[in-house]
Amino acid sequence: MNTLIIRKATRVDLPAVMDLIRELALFEKAPEQVTNTVASMEHDGFGEHPVFGLQVAELDGIVVGMALYFVKYSTWKGKGLYLDDLVVTATHRGKGIGSKLFDAYLQEAKSIGAKQAHWQVLDWNTPAIRLYEKLKASIEAEWLDCKMTEQQIILYPNH
């Protein structure tokens, strides 16, 4: 049958999305770092004030991929869309599903009038890097990723 549908996610998709997130964390060798929950995602993505958008890839009725994104803002460029994660389950990689999810993400960027589409990729994730190069994306090495954990935020300013 092999019917692939790329669509906006619903609350019902969240358990499958969490499975994809856990699979991605295993792939990135950091499964213990996943602290998000279906309940948090339901509140944050489908509550009164959603803070993210989510597309899923459904193959024959089963969610096999997802792209999660949110609006960002650049003082230099204006509104942009940040792709936090794009993941396709291991058994379905290499079939063009990731490209179709990326297309849906870029369509969302166009629909909101984004001036930039932005995301990150691990420097050792060569399949993803190859995909982004094939899609003619710019891969920049000059910017360093900075972040604070929840604990660091709570303790700030404690310097």
Known catalytic residues are 132
3-class DSSP assignment, residue 33:
helix
> In 75-146, which ranges are E strands?
78-88, 116-119
Phi first, then psi, for residue 20 (nearest 5°) are -65, -40
Tell which phi-psi region holds residue 61, choosing left (phi > 0), alpha (psi between -120 and 50) or beta: left
- Strand duo 53-59 + 116-119: pairing: unpaired
| Cα gap 144→45, rounded to integer Å | 28
| Cα gap 69→4, rounded to integer Å | 21
